[in-house]
């Protein structure tokens, strides 16, 4: 019997040592596995105002990466490079390539995508080690696995996807804003150039009028004040020309800012807008079509919908949190030669509250998101209706001035020229008629400017070009560009 007890004790001691070493091996393997997991190391990316300014000043419209970006979006080769002339589409794409606002929106999309990854991650298990100190005969360890209840992970992923969709829509909205800014700057530039041309034509006619009046004054046919008044009028036009010349650099600088390049990058660049003087007939846009586009195509409306979906998911998540998560896992205790295997369980008891506060907050936020959607949609419809009415009014004014200008050019001026040729009228009378043309043309130019701006406002209201334009802003905004990384 004594020998049997000794053998039994030895066997128990051996098994105890095996279990201890097995547990120790498990601990070592767990720690080794955790240590071997690949981790990401921090890499600083410093910012320098001086270096950033140097990069901005170095931007051009002739670099190779920009050429690749334009060719990919235009779907055609650009030969020669750089192009001899740039239109709205090409400048808008260049702005998308360089725009700092789009870089910020892309960063927000990346952040939203990372949030999707975070939402889909499963919680890591917890390893709990409790060695006996000072006694070496006590040891406890536990592995606890976190269990999420009520489909919480699925809801979190769904919410993160809705917010990522909103971020992508905001990126597209930022792209449209960039295009709109380029268009506005181009309208101002073309109006300034045409205004200068009209003033120069007017100056030539006024100088001719001064010469004719001086001839009549020398012949004693008119008094000196008439010549003086003509000189004063010519002088005023010269002052207006100088002011108009000063507006050209200003509008060019505004265009450079809209594209995102220094003014020097636009030196020698020729801009074209073939149908600038012929905006589309307002009758080609029906109120129903415009309203439909405002409801279905407006990106801010879709953003509001995505944010409402995220608010729905947030409420569902808070309701799911009424059911607390728990932790469960195996455990082992060694105490003075005895081995104990256990199962651990941990849960937060919903005794004092059942998450009523966060649920009420989430429900209020959902109601606010619903109200924000209705406001956004109503504003989109109202803005589209107002913009269409403004465009129709501007088109009526433009058509009226065009009619008067055609009447002058095709009826009045030819008739006066025939009378001068027949000796029935003097050159001064023809000059007076000809001077009506630049005055009428300036009125027409003002109406054209208001019409183009109204067309831009109407395009902003529906967030799409109202003339054929293949520019896919959303796709172009998402394309990689060489300046995506911060130096």
DSSP for 231-258, written as a single string: HHHHHHHHHHHHHHHHHHHHHHHHHHHH
Neighbours of 155 (CB within 10 A): 22
Spatial contact of 149 and 324, defined as CB atoms under 8 Å apart: yes
Q: Record the pTM.
A: 0.82
The continuous run of DSSP H or E covering 452 comes out as helix 427-462
The continuous run of DSSP H or E covering 131 comes out as strand 126-131
Distance between CA atoms of residues 68 and 90, nearest Å = 12
Distance between CA atoms of residues 174 and 101, nearest Å = 7
Distance between CA atoms of residues 320 and 405, nearest Å = 72
Backbone angles phi, psi at 428, to 5 degrees: -65, -40
Please list the pLDDT of the chain residue by residue as tens digits (487 residues): 555 555 555 555 555 555 555 555 555 565 556 556 677 788 888 888 888 788 888 889 999 999 999 999 888 899 889 998 999 999 999 999 998 888 888 999 999 999 998 888 888 888 877 777 666 667 777 878 888 777 888 999 999 999 999 999 999 999 999 999 999 999 999 999 999 999 999 999 888 888 888 888 788 777 888 888 888 888 998 999 999 999 999 999 999 999 999 999 998 899 999 889 999 988 888 888 898 888 888 899 999 999 999 999 999 999 988 888 888 888 877 777 677 778 888 888 887 888 899 999 999 999 999 999 999 999 999 999 999 999 999 999 999 999 998 998 888 888 888 887 777 667 877 788 888 898 899 999 999 999 999 999 999 999 888 875 545 555 555 554 444 433 3
Cα angle vertex 65, ends 486, 471, to 5°? 100
User: Can you list the alpha helix ranges (DSSP code H) found in 37-151?
Assistant: 49-57, 64-74, 88-98, 100-120
Task: Name the CATH superfamily housing domain 63-73+82-467.
Answer: Outer membrane efflux proteins (OEP) (1.20.1600.10)
Cα angle vertex 175, ends 157, 255, to 5°? 160
Spatial contact of 138 and 131, defined as CB atoms under 8 Å apart: yes
Spatial contact of 164 and 117, defined as CB atoms under 8 Å apart: no
DSSP-derived 3-state class of residue 358: helix
Distance between CA atoms of residues 50 and 380, nearest Å = 42
Distance between CA atoms of residues 267 and 345, nearest Å = 73
ω into residue 253 within 30 of 0, thus cis? no
Cα angle vertex 140, ends 138, 141, to 5°? 155
DSSP symbol at 99: -
């Amino acid at each position: 019997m004594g020998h049997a007890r000794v053998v039994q004790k030895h066997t128990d001691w051996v098994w105890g040592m095996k279990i201890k070493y097995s547990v120790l091996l498990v601990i070592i393997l767990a720690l080794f596995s955790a240590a071997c997991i690949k981790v990401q190391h921090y890499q600083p990316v410093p910012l320098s105002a001086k270096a950033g300014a140097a990069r901005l000043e170095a931007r051009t419209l002739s670099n190779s990466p920009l050429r690749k970006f334009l060719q990919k979006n235009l779907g055609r080769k650009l030969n020669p490079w750089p192009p001899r002339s740039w239109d709205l589409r090409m400048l808008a794409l260049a702005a998308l390539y360089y725009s700092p606002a789009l870089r910020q929106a892309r960063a927000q999309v990346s952040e939203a995508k990372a949030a999707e990854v975070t939402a889909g991650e499963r919680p890591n298990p917890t390893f709990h080690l409790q060695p006996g100190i000072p006694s070496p005969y006590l040891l406890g360890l536990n592995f606890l696995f976190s269990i999420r209840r009520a489909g919480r992970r699925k809801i979190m992923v769904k919410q993160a996807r809705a917010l990522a969709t909103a971020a992508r829509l905001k990126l597209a909205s930022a792209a449209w804003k960039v295009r709109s800014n380029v268009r506005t700057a181009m309208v101002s530039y073309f109006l300034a150039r045409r205004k200068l041309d009209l003033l120069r034509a007017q100056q030539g006619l006024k100088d001719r009028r001064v010469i004719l009046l001086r001839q009549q004054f020398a012949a004693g046919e008119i008094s000196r004040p008439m010549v003086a008044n003509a000189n004063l009028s010519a002088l005023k036009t010269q002052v207006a020309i100088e002011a108009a010349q000063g507006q050209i650099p200003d509008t060019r600088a505004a265009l450079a800012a809209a594209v995102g390049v220094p003014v020097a990058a636009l030196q020698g660049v020729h801009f074209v807008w073939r149908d600038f003087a012929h905006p589309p007939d307002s009758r080609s846009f029906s109120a129903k079509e415009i309203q439909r586009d405002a409801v279905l195509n407006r990106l801010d409306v879709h953003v509001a919908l995505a944010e409402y979906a995220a608010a729905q998911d947030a409420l569902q998540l808070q309701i799911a949190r009424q059911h607390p998560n728990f932790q469960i896992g195996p455990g082992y205790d060694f105490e003075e030669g005895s081995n104990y295997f256990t199962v651990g369980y941990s849960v937060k008891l919903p005794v004092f509250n059942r998450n009523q506060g966060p649920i009420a907050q989430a429900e209020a936020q959902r109601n606010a998101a619903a109200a924000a959607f209705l406001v956004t949609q109503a504003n989109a419809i109202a803005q589209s209706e107002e913009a269409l009415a403004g465009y129709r009014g501007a088109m009526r004014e433009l058509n009226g001035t065009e009619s008067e200008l055609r009447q002058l050019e095709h009826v009045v001026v030819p008739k006066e020229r025939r009378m001068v040729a027949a000796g029935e009228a003097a050159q001064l009378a023809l000059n007076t008629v000809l001077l009506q043309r630049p005055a009428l043309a300036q009125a027409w130019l003002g109406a054209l400017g208001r019409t183009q701006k109204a067309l831009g406002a109407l395009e902003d209201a529906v967030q799409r070009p109202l003339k054929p334009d293949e520019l896919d802003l959303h796709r172009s905004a998402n394309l990689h560009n060489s300046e995506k990384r911060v130096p």
